[in-house]
């Protein structure tokens, strides 16, 4: 590891449990061809000198062969994941920003067996029961985050909650005691932990869960 090498310094600092500041030029260099797909203002993370978390617009086939995908553990997707199977996401453990129509695609992809966390941005009313059923098929799922447009009282009595350790839900939905997702109702959910998020922002909560280990 050469002295003065930014990536080497990052690795050294992170191994020492420090929080180094990463300059923008270095970060963009380290992510290679996928840099143009990343939303740079939304939680880009590096672990041991390699990209481990980011937000992208879509998984639609662009830069699918780039090796930088292989180290990503946490991915937020703002659009379609139609081509997720083409990406070498062998380290992926958490994926968010999903629409209910994406869940079937997710289950058919190579990443499904190792996924521990799913974040839902929107679930159509007609899809809700089926979406909860499909998520039960993810063998290692233990964290579920639901955004303001994914909430539905049908989740309260669904077997999916029996496998969930942490349920993250939008605080702004809990406005009145009579609301379907009132604090009292959620307090009765069969999950070990609950936390609130802001409009579906869930990655920080997943990071805390992941640090505790499987």
Asked if residue 200 has pLDDT above 50, the reply is no
pLDDT above 70 (res 198): no
- Tokens 């703002």 sit at which residue? 78
Instruction: Please indicate whether residue 201 or residue 61 has the higher confidence score (pLDDT).
Output: 61
Instruction: Give me the pLDDT at residue 110, please.
Output: 97
Of 186, 160, 161, 162, which is closest to residue 173 (Cα–Cα)? 186
Order the strands of the 50-56 sheet from edge to edge. 45-47, 50-56, 74-77, 94-99, 117-122, 143-149, 166-170, 193-197
Other CB atoms closer than 10 Å to residue 141's CB: what's the count?
18
Domain boundaries, the chain: 93-211
User: Measured in whole angstroms, how far is the alpha carbon of residue 197 from the centre of its chain?
Assistant: 13
pTM to 2 decimal places: 0.81
Q: What is the pLDDT of residue 67?
A: 95
pLDDT at 174: 46
Per-residue pLDDT band for 206 (boundaries 50, 70, 90) equals: low
User: What's the rounded Cα separation, in Å, for the pair 98 and 84?
Assistant: 12
pLDDT attached to residue 214: 41
Question: Which H or E run includes 102?
Answer: helix 102-107
In the prediction, which pLDDT does 83 show?
97
- Can you give the pLDDT at residue 1? 43
Stretch 74-93: mean pLDDT, rounded? 94
Q: Beta strand 94-99 with 74-77: parallel, antiparallel or unpaired?
A: parallel
Asked if pLDDT for residue 28 goes beyond 80, the answer is yes
Predicted confidence (pLDDT) at residue 66 exceeds the cutoff of 90: yes
With bands split at pLDDT 50, 70 and 90, how would you rate the model's confidence at 213?
Answer: very low
The pLDDT-based confidence of 176 (bands split at 50, 70, 90) is very low
How does residue 177 score in pLDDT terms, banded at 50, 70 and 90?
Answer: very low
């Amino acid at each position: 590891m050469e002295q003065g090498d930014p990536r080497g310094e990052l690795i050294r600092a992170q191994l020492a449990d420090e929080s180094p500041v990463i300059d923008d030029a270095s970060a963009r260099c380290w992510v290679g061809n996928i840099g143009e797909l990343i939303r740079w203002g939304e939680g880009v993370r590096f672990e041991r000198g390699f990209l481990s978390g980011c937000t992208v617009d879509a998984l639609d086939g662009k830069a699918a062969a780039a090796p930088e995908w292989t180290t990503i553990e946490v991915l937020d997707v703002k659009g379609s994941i139609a081509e997720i199977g083409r990406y070498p996401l062998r380290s992926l453990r958490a994926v968010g920003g999903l629409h209910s129509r994406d869940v079937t695609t997710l289950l058919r992809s190579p990443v499904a067996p190792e996924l521990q966390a799913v974040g839902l941005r929107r679930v159509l009313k007609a899809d809700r029961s089926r979406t909860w059923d499909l998520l039960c098929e993810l063998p290692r799922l233990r964290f579920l985050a639901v955004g303001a447009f994914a909430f539905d009282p049908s989740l309260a009595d669904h077997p999916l909650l029996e496998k969930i350790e942490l349920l993250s839900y939008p605080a702004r939905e809990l406005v009145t005691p009579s609301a379907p997702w009132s604090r009292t109702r959620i307090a009765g959910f069969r999950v070990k932990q609950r936390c609130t998020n802001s409009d579906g922002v869930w990655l920080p909560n997943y990071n805390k869960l992941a640090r505790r280990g499987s």
